[in-house]
Amino acid sequence: MDLTYEIYINSKPEDIWNIFISPEGTKAIFFGCVLKSTFEVGAPYEYIGPGADGDETVHVYGEILAYEPYKMMSYTEHAGPSYRENHAELETRITLYLEEVGNCTKLKLVNDKWPENHPSYENTKSSWPMILSNVKTFAETGKTLDFGW
């Protein structure tokens, strides 16, 4: 049930890393959300942005498990409280790996540790390719994809 994706991006690891952690980058690739965390191992994080609970909707939250700038970040993931009543028990893990390959970067994302019958699995399975395509496009062109939403 693990979800694993690999893509190559015509950009430096530092630039891609900053897309995943900076307010400008996360707003672009995560549909207006900002990532809030100190990024210390054991620290909480939240993706907050416009949604069902207004401009400060918590879409995803969890705990930082590992953090090695420009190379790897791993964290637990829970859907925000407005998405699932049992959000606290629906935990998965997300790990991002960045590796310089020639003049580009290999981005590998693994979303694993899915509990049995997780209600967001199928949606997440189709969302990651869209998000990662947005990362690639944003890193290479400074623009995001228009999904027509």
**Rounded mean pLDDT for each run of 10 residues along the chain, 149 residues in total:** 97 97 94 94 96 90 98 96 90 98 97 94 95 97 89
Determine the pLDDT at residue 68: 98
Determine the pLDDT at residue 54: 85
Topology of the domain covering 3-141: Alpha-D-Glucose-1,6-Bisphosphate; Chain A, domain 4 (3.30.530)
Instruction: Report the distance separating Cα 137 and Cα 129, nearest Å.
Output: 12
Q: Which long-range contacts (CB under 8 A, 24 or more apart) does 12-19 make?
A: 12/100, 12/105, 13/70, 13/71, 13/98, 13/99, 13/100, 13/105, 14/70, 15/139, 16/98, 16/105, 16/107, 16/135, 16/139, 17/69, 17/70, 17/98, 19/135, 19/138, 19/139
- Rounded to two decimals, the pTM is 0.93
Determine the pLDDT at residue 83: 87
Determine the pLDDT at residue 48: 95
